[in-house]
Amino acid sequence: MSTPHPHVDIDAPVAEALAAGRPVVALESTILTHGMPWPQNDEMAASVEAIITAEGCVPATIAIVDGRIRVGLPPEERARLAQTTDARKVSRADLGYAVAQGLTGGTTVAATMIGAALAGIEVFATGGIGGVHEGAESTFDESADLTELAQTPVVVVSAGPKAILDIPKTLERLETLGVPVVAYGVSELPAFWSRSSGLDAPLSLDGADDIARFHRVRAELGLQGGLLVANPVPAEDEITADVMAQHIARAQADAVDLGVTGKNVTPYLLGRILELTDGASLVTNIALVENNARIAARIAVALAKG
Ligand code: PSU
Ligand code: MN
């Protein structure tokens, strides 16, 4: 274990890879603590780490354990976190509090980007980022993932904004914040469980080398922040947008009826959609994270080649 920063512990395989300039891919942990049920959450994490390893990279799951920012979690610790029922959901606003109070929590996309940047990791694979929620014009509910992408220099590989969000508003906000959104191998922006959002992606690239070069050029130009890659779920695993639309509408109505607000919104909607689809949304969610891990690893390899 190496400690490059007073609050950060880097697991030995990750530290060795970083010191040698070998590729590392960061992974988030809110998806474990709040995004998927046990035991599928930890099975997903194991399979995603195996995919990253098979591509020649070292996986680094990031989480907060007893107030330490951990970069790379050994399997036993990862499994323990995945079973914890009282872990917090830690985003930028909660990170310092969780460290100061010695708490344990899953890191969101935003907090995982911060941990990755502290450790010197440039590529991160997730499922879907948070964004502008439906009804944000009255609730102001916009994920801190968006402002993090604007300031922290990490390539985030997702399957697009989660379809539970207001995707057009999310794209507008990302543009305002100067965050490039790059569809991978397609021209349409994917929408998490579905390949189709009905919206053109702002940018499109076909290969990991092109994404790596784009990231390098942005840094050379002094442009702050990250880059969002939107990688469509494989066709054989998708749930089409028309099928998802009815479940999403129902889940959103239920959230309003129950008065779910703030950071509980995303976990509630994901859990309710899992019930409404009889578990099919979880199968798709796992497939898309695996698919994103593979592309993230290839981008990390391309960046390590220089
Ligand atoms: N993607 C998933 N499942 C998840 C999330 C993303 O497939 O659980 C999590 C991520 O950690 C993301 C968070 O950062 O949901 C967004 O929450 P909020 O909208 O409260 O910022
Ligand atoms: Mn929110």
Q: Mind listing the pLDDT tens digit for each residue in 154-165?
A: 999 999 988 889
Q: Mind listing the pLDDT tens digit for each residue in 252-299?
A: 999 999 999 999 999 999 999 999 999 999 999 999 999 999 999 999
Ligand nearest the Cα of residue 146 is 1
Contacts with 158 (C-beta within 8 Å, 6 or more apart), sequence order: 109, 126, 127, 128, 129, 228, 229, 230, 231, 292
Contacts with 44 (C-beta within 8 Å, 6 or more apart), sequence order: 31, 36, 286, 289, 290
* Ligand 1 atom nearest to CA at 162: 1
What share of the chain in percent tops pLDDT 70? 99
In this model, does residue 203 exceed pLDDT 80? Answer: yes
Q: Which fold, 2-304?
A: Indigoidine synthase fold (3.40.1790)
**Residues enclosing ligand 1, CB less than 6 A?**
28, 30-31, 34-35, 91, 108-109, 126-128, 130, 143-145, 263, 266, 270, 285
Quote the CA–CA distance of 202 and 199 in Å, as a whole number.
9
Q: What is the reported pLDDT for 306?
A: 81
Q: Mind listing the pLDDT tens digit for each residue in 3-14?
A: 678 999 999 999
pTM across the whole model:
0.96
Q: Mind listing the pLDDT tens digit for each residue in 161-183?
A: 888 899 999 999 999 999 999 99
Cβ count within 10 A of residue 185 = 11
- Ligand 1 center to 185 CA (angstroms): 24
Ligand nearest the Cα of residue 170 is 1
- Which residues lie at CB < 5 A from ion ligand 2? 141
Cβ count within 10 A of residue 210 = 15
In degrees rounded to 5, what are phi and psi of residue 227? -135, 135
| 162 included as an active-site residue | yes
In this model, does residue 1 exceed pLDDT 80? Answer: no
Q: Mind listing the pLDDT tens digit for each residue in 22-42?
A: 999 999 999 999 999 999 999
Mean pLDDT of the chain: 96
